[in-house]
Amino acid sequence: MTNENLIHYIHGIADNSMILGQRISELCGHGPNLETDIALTNIALDLIGQTRSYYQYVAELSPKDITEDDVAFLRKEREYKNVLLVEQPNTDFAYVIVRQYFFDVFHYLLLKELEKSKNVNFQAIAKKSLKEVSYHKRFSGDWLKRLGDGTEESKQKTQQAVNDLWVFTDELFHMTKDDQVVADAGFGVDNSTLKSEYYTMVKSLLEECKLLIPEVEYFQKGGKKGIHSEHMGYILSDMQFMQRTYPDMKW
């Protein structure tokens, strides 16, 4: 296992949190009400905070003289390895919650395994993040129940979000070559082993919410290899605006 394998593996985990954190932070000041606005902003901050630990580690491992900010803000679109799910737009509150729940369950299962990594950095990050992510999962799961089993309108909108976002769930369990090398070395997690538990958990909650589980044969993929949807460019142009316009700026 080379440092390069490890760096790519970390991008695969951290970029999910980075891009989802950026996505949710778009809602800051635009939440459906003050309380939910603060809750979502908290989640965004948790996720972005987690990526700092990962990117600091990347900067350490990199042969180049770079910082966490270079890793976060100065890569090109193809160099981000997040899954397509997290870059999907905030179409409405149902989408925000369903996207969050689909990601939170995966994130939770991943971190529980990453805590057992042979790598002490991964152990420490996973241990700290797991508390935050357990809360995210409760928040999105509770909202999903309320929306799915709420009014006729909330049910219909939530079902629409579930149907549209379901096709992005399979990619969470894909393994790149780097992922496999790092997992084989005992440092990383083999995501494919999380799949059955993931679908058991998600399906049981959807049933409890009286939502239908979509039946699809074709799932979307590409983000993990750097091939993103049209939304990604817009996210990056917002996110990287400062560093691109004023290179090397400092607070």
Nearer to another protein, 34 or 249 (CB): 34
Nearer to another protein, 154 or 160 (CB): 154
For residues 209 and 212, give the distance between their C-alpha atoms in angstroms, rounded to a whole number.
9
Nearer to another protein, 34 or 120 (CB): 34
Torsion of CA 122, 166, 157, 27, to 10 degrees: 30
Q: Which residues bind another protein (CB under 8 A)?
A: 32-36, 38-39, 42, 138-139, 142, 146
* Least gap, CB of 33 to another protein (angstroms): 5
Nearer to another protein, 29 or 247 (CB): 29
Q: Are 178 and 8 in contact (CB under 8 A)?
A: yes
Q: Are 158 and 166 in contact (CB under 8 A)?
A: no
For residues 238 and 23, give the distance between their C-alpha atoms in angstroms, rounded to a whole number.
10
Amino acid identity, residue 164?
A: D
For residues 56 and 63, give the distance between their C-alpha atoms in angstroms, rounded to a whole number.
13
Find the helix packing angle between 3-25 and 93-114, rounded to 10°: 150
Q: Are 60 and 44 in contact (CB under 8 A)?
A: no
Rg (CA), the chain: 18
Tokens of 168: 């992005």
Nearer to another protein, 15 or 46 (CB): 46
* Least gap, CB of 227 to another protein (angstroms): 36
* Least gap, CB of 153 to another protein (angstroms): 11
Helix (H) or strand (E) holding 163: helix 152-165
Nearer to another protein, 35 or 65 (CB): 35
Nearer to another protein, 93 or 122 (CB): 93
For residues 170 and 199, give the distance between their C-alpha atoms in angstroms, rounded to a whole number.
10
Q: Are 6 and 60 in contact (CB under 8 A)?
A: no
* Least gap, CB of 118 to another protein (angstroms): 32
* Least gap, CB of 151 to another protein (angstroms): 10
* Least gap, CB of 143 to another protein (angstroms): 8
* Least gap, CB of 240 to another protein (angstroms): 27
